[in-house]
Structure 1
Amino acid sequence: MNWPAGWLPWALLSASFAALTAVFAKIGIRGVDSDLATLVRTAVILLVLTPFVWLTGKWSNPLALPGRTLLFLALSALATGASWVCYFRALQLGQASQVAPVDKLSVVLVAVFAFALLGERPSLQEWAGIGLVAAGVLLLALAR
């Protein structure tokens, strides 16, 4: 099977799966504690990803990774977990069509954090796009 090359097809697939995540999660958390639902989701990911990495020949000893890499991967995992817990709680309390767009404020925050912490410098056109995303989030959040 030929996989798409470049970042854009993968980013579009990510967005599509993220959209399905919101819809499936909203259905799945009915009558279930959102924290328990997050745990189940995490367990499923672990059960699916472990054999995937093994069968594709990408397994190596994670403890052999440099300490800095492990630290930042652990911080990323903690941030992901916190994001999922908050996301599921928001989905349980609000409509998916409200929660998911506000969650995408992360696009704006990534740009700000990358500017401050990684030294990335978006162009004026890119900042305009980031501003439009922020405005869109505000319009969706305040619309109800």
Structure 2
Amino acid sequence: MPETGWLTWALLSALFAALTAIFAKIGLEGIDSDLATLGRTVIILLILAGFIIYSGKWTNPLKFSPKALAFLTLSGIATGASWVCYFRALKLGEASKVAPVDKLSLVLVAILAFVFLGERPSNMDWLGILLVAAGVVLLGLRL
């Protein structure tokens, strides 16, 4: 598969994230949100394992550096916690309210990347980040 730009992959991610919210909201009807999260995770694991094996990308994960293993473990824990919280929020609330609040992660990523990764967004970037935060308030919190 030819490598495309990051923007293409990011837009596809946004599309699939939107579909995730809609499909999950429908699928959660009559099911515990934690159990639904587990089921979804098993499906993701099977699909991703098949893709990695099919594409010949499998390598021994025990050969990852200790730093990579530690941070991938932390990322996995954060992902799991995010999914559990997201599915519980979807179970209790409207997808059109839950999804915008979930996107507050965009603002948090910018702040955390500034603090921990030394990334320095431009003034225009910060304006965009502020507008996203305002959008979260307007769409999700409706204050």
Task: Compute the TM-score of the two structures, normalised by the length of structure 2.
Answer: 0.97
RMSD: 1.1
Specify every segment of 5 or more residues in structure 1 that has no aligned partner in the other structure, as ranges: none
Which residue of 1 is the match for residue 4 of structure 2?
Answer: 5
Identity %: 66
Q: Once the two structures are superposed, what CA deviation does each residue of 1:90-109 show, in whole Å capped at 9, x if it has no partner?
A: 00000000000110000000
Instruction: State the shift of 1:4 in Å.
Output: 5.7
Which residue of 2 is the match for residue 30 of structure 1?
Answer: 29
For 1:97 and 1:3, the matched residues in 2 are separated by 35
For 2:141 and 2:64, the matched residues in 1 are separated by 45
**Are 1:110 and 2:106 an aligned pair?**
no
Task: Compute the TM-score of the two structures, normalised by the length of structure 1.
Answer: 0.96
Q: Once the two structures are superposed, what CA deviation does each residue of 1:109-130 show, in whole Å capped at 9, x if it has no partner?
A: 0000001111111000000000
Stretches of 4+ aligned residues off by more than 2 angstroms: 141-144
For 1:3 and 1:93, the matched residues in 2 are separated by 41
Specify every segment of 5 or more residues in structure 2 that has no aligned partner in the other structure, as ranges: none
Which residue of 2 is the match for residue 64 of structure 1?
Answer: 63
